[in-house]
Amino acid sequence: MNEFVVRNSVTNVAQDSSALVVGEYAGMIINAFHCEQLSQALSRLPDLLQAEDAELIAGGRNQNVRLMLPFQGGRLAVLVKSFGKQKRWKDHVDIRYRKTKAQRSFEVALHLRTNKVGTPAPVAFLERRCGNRLEESYFISLFEEQVTSFHDQIISILNGEPTCGELAPMLARVAELCRAMHDAGYIHHDLGNQNILLPHGQQSDSGRAQIIDLNRGRIFPELSMRQRGKDLSRLNLPSEIMQMFLDIYWGTPAPELLRTWHRRYVSLFRLWANTRRLRHPIREARLVGEQKLHPEVRAFPAPRDIWIWDDRSDQAFSALERKERVRLYPLGRSWHLLKATVAAGWSLRKHYRSSKGRAFTAPVKLKDRLGIALEPDRASQGIELELLNKLGAAPVLLRFCHHEGQSRWHEQADLVRQLSATGHEVKIALVQDRRALQEPDAWRNFVHEVLELTHECIAAVEFGHAINRVKWGIWDFEELKNLYAPLAELRQRYPAVDITGPATIDFEYPFMLAAMKQWPQQVPLTALSHHLYVDRRGAPENPQGGFNAIDKFALASAIAGYLQVPDGKVVVSEVNWPISGTFIYSPVTSPFEYPLAKPGEVADNGVNEVDYSDYMLRYIVLALCSGLVDTVFWWRLVARGYGLVDKNDDGELRERPAFFALQHFLLTLGESIFLRARLPEQKDQRHGLYEFEFERPGGENLLLCWSHGPAVAARALEFARVEDAQGNALEAAPKNISGSPLYFRDVTGLR
C-alpha cells in the first residue's frame, strides 16, 4: 500500500504523561496538568460527579459529565467519561490483553494529538480495582466549549434550507479529520456522526473538527483500504453526498477499491441497523416513545425529503445516487409514463412527420424570438442591466424560487417592473422546492403573491421547473397534481397572463406527456415550454438516440400539436453549455473541491469558451429558423459556470466570447427574416455544411454558415465582406468553413 504516508504509528505515552495515584485510584496524567490541587480533586471524583454543579452531558451506561476542577489557582472545565461496570470476562480481557476503556481512550487521545489530529485534549485517566474486577473507570479530557456534534449539525441543516455552500466547508472539515485520523494509523470502529464534534458560533467557519469516544478503536502501523472503507461506513450522509465525501476525504477522486469496501460495509451496517428492533425491542420501543413525547427534536429527514440548493450553479443538487433514486420511485411512475406514451403514440407519429416536413420551409421573423434569462443579486443588478442593454430590447426571463423567501420575491418583482418600464417583454418562471410539495398552502400563497406583484408587467408565467427531475422535489404524479392545484384559480384571477408549461428538462418526452395528464383541462397552455439541452458536452447537431437538435425540436412541436397548443407553439425556456475550468460553479461537475487533485485528474465535462459561443449560435439558429421553436431563452446572462458573462470571486464581471457573439447576432439578425436553409443530409452524424440565408431590414441578403464535423471547402460566393462570430471583418475570404459560424454580408447570386 503506497497511496499515503503514515506519520507516527505508535506514540510513546510516557514522554508526555506520568503515573498518578490518588487515594484508591491509579492511572496516568498529562504532565502539563499535574498539580496538587487537581490531584486532590480527582481523589474524590465520584463525589464531584454527584455534586449540584456537575452537568450531565450524556447519560446511559457510560456517562459524560462536565465538571469545573481547581487548577493552578483557577478553574478547569473538564469532561469526565465514566465507564459503567462490565462483565467479569470483559474485565479479564481488558486487564490481560487490551487495556481498559479509560486507558485506551487516554493513550489514543495522546497519540492523535501528537499526530495533529483533532480531539479534546486528554487530562488523565483513573481506575479503581478490586482484585481482578474493575470497579470504577474514568477518562478525563478538557471540555470543549462552543461545539456541537456532526450528527446534530447535519440534521439541523438538512431539515432547513441547505445550500452546497453551507455543506461543503462542514464536510471538508469532517473529511480532513477522518483522513488525518486514518493516516495516523487509528481506526475508530464507531465513526458515527455523533462522535464527531464541530465548532459553532463564532468559530464555525474556521475551527477544526474533533473525534471523540475513542475507547473502541485501535492503532495500527497503517490502515488498508478495507479498514478505511469499513470505518467510514457508519457515517450517515445522503448517498450522493457520501460519494462526494469520499472524494474530499481522499483529496482526489477516491479509488474504486475504497468505494467498493465502503459500499460493502454500508450494506452490512444497514442490515445490522435494520434488525435493531429485533435485537433490542425494549430499548427501541423506549426511543420511539421518547420521540413521540418530544416531536420538536428533529430526526434525519426521509431520503425523498432531502432538498439541497447548489448556490454555485444555481440549481437543486441531487443528494441521492441514481440507484437509490430509482429504488425510491413510486410503483406507479413507470405505468404513468407508459400509459401516456402509448396513448399518444400513433397520433404523435403523424404530428412528428408533419413537423419534420415543415422545418426550414417557411420564412421566420426573428424579432423578439431570442430572450435572455437574468438572476442578479441586488449588488450586481445595475451592471447586469447595463450588460443587458448592450444586447438591445430582448425579451427577459426571471425565476421566482419558492425556497428564496419573500424578501427575494419582492426584489425580483421590483426588477420585473423596472424591465417592463424600459421596454423589455418579461416572462417569469415559478420554481418549486420540496417544501412546496409538502406544504401545498405555502406553494399556493407563493404563486398568488408573486402574480399579484407582477401580473401587470409580465407577458407569461412558466409554471413549475424541471418537474421530471426528483432533485427538484417532485417524486410522483399525485404530487405533480398538487403542484398544479393553484392553476385554475390563477387562470381566473389573471386572465391576461399567458401560462406555459410543463417545463420538463432534457429529452424525456414521455414524462412531458404524462405530466400533461395531470394539467387542469380548464387551463389551456399558450405554449409548450421546455428546458431542452441537446448535448452538453458537444455540438447541438450531435444525435442522442438517433435524435439531433432538429429532430428534438420537431418532436417537441409534434407534442404541442398533439396537445392542441395554439399554433403548436414551443418555447425553449432554458438552455446553455457548461464551461470547462469552472469546477464547483459548473452545473455538470461536483459542487465540492478536490483539495489534492492534480491538473487533469478531475473530469471536467464542460466546453471551452469559444466552443460555448459557437454551439450557442448554432443552437439558436437551428431552433428559430426551423420554425419549430417560437422562442429561445438563454440561461443566462451572468453566471460563472455557464453564463454569457463570467463573475469571479471578487464580483468582477467579464464578457465571454459568447456575449460578443450574441450581441453581434442580435445587432445583425435580430430584426431580420430567415428565408431558406441548405443542410447536409439528415442522417448518421449530420456532418457537413450548414447554410442559412436571411434578409435584413433594408434588403441586404446575408448568409450565415458553419460546418459540423470536419471543415469543408467554402463554396464560391459573391459578397461585400465576411465577418467572424464576434463581428470582426476577415481580411480575405476563407477557403474552408469550420464549426465557428461566419457571416457573409451583402451576398448576391445565392439561388
Is the distance from CB of 470 to CB of 433 less than 8 angstroms?
no
Q: Which three-class secondary structure state does DSSP give residue 231?
A: helix
Q: Between β-strands 527-531 and 498-505, what pairing exists: parallel, antiparallel or unpaired? A: parallel
Asked if the model's pLDDT at residue 18 lies above 50, the reply is yes
pLDDT score recorded for residue 140? 95
Integer Rg of the chain from CA: 32
pLDDT score recorded for residue 6? 28
Q: Which residue has the higher pLDDT, 685 or 746?
A: 746
Q: Place 2 in a pLDDT band, splitting at 50, 70 and 90.
A: very low
User: H helices of 497-635, where?
Assistant: 509-516, 549-562, 609-625
pLDDT in tens, 303-356: 999 999 999 999 999 999 999 999 999 988 999 999 999 999 999 999 999 999
pLDDT score recorded for residue 716? 86
H or E element in which residue 398 lies: strand 396-401
Q: Between β-strands 498-505 and 460-463, what pairing exists: parallel, antiparallel or unpaired? A: parallel
Q: Place 293 in a pLDDT band, splitting at 50, 70 and 90.
A: low
Q: What are phi and psi of 667, to 5 degrees?
A: -65, -40
pLDDT score recorded for residue 9? 34
> Which pairs from 560-566 meet CB under 8 Å and 24+ separation?
560/527, 560/528, 561/351, 561/354, 561/355, 562/344, 562/347, 562/348, 562/351, 563/516, 563/525, 563/528, 565/525, 565/526, 565/527, 565/528, 566/524, 566/526
- Give dist(CA 462, CA 398) in Å, integer: 10
- Give dist(CA 353, CA 341) in Å, integer: 17
pLDDT in tens, 526-559: 999 999 998 887 999 998 888 999 999 999 999 9
- Give dist(CA 236, CA 470) in Å, integer: 21
H or E element in which residue 248 lies: helix 239-250
Asked if the model's pLDDT at residue 151 lies above 70, the reply is yes
Asked if the model's pLDDT at residue 749 lies above 80, the reply is no
Q: Place 292 in a pLDDT band, splitting at 50, 70 and 90.
A: low
Average pLDDT, the chain: 90
DSSP collapsed to 3 states, 283-327: HHHHHHHHHHHCCCCCCCCCHHHCCEEECCCCEEECCCCHHHHHH
E strand segments, 31-158 = 55-58, 63-71, 74-82, 122-130, 133-142, 147-149
pLDDT in tens, 80-105: 999 877 777 676 666 666 788 899 99
DSSP 163: B
Grid cell listed for 173: 472539515
Q: What are phi and psi of 694, to 5 degrees?
A: -130, 155
pLDDT score recorded for residue 93? 67
Asked if the model's pLDDT at residue 297 lies above 80, the reply is no
- Give dist(CA 672, CA 748) in Å, integer: 17
Q: Which three-class secondary structure state does DSSP give residue 644?
A: coil
pLDDT score recorded for residue 10? 36
Asked if the model's pLDDT at residue 243 lies above 90, the reply is yes
Asked if the model's pLDDT at residue 13 lies above 90, the reply is no
Asked if the model's pLDDT at residue 5 lies above 70, the reply is no
Mean pLDDT of 221-227: 96
Mean pLDDT of 249-260: 95
pLDDT in tens, 591-619: 888 878 887 788 788 999 999 999 999 99
pLDDT score recorded for residue 3? 34
Q: Place 173 in a pLDDT band, splitting at 50, 70 and 90.
A: very high
Mean pLDDT of 245-249: 95
Asked if the model's pLDDT at residue 296 lies above 70, the reply is no
User: Which stretch of 206-215, 234-243, 277-286 has the lowest confidence by average pLDDT?
Assistant: 277-286
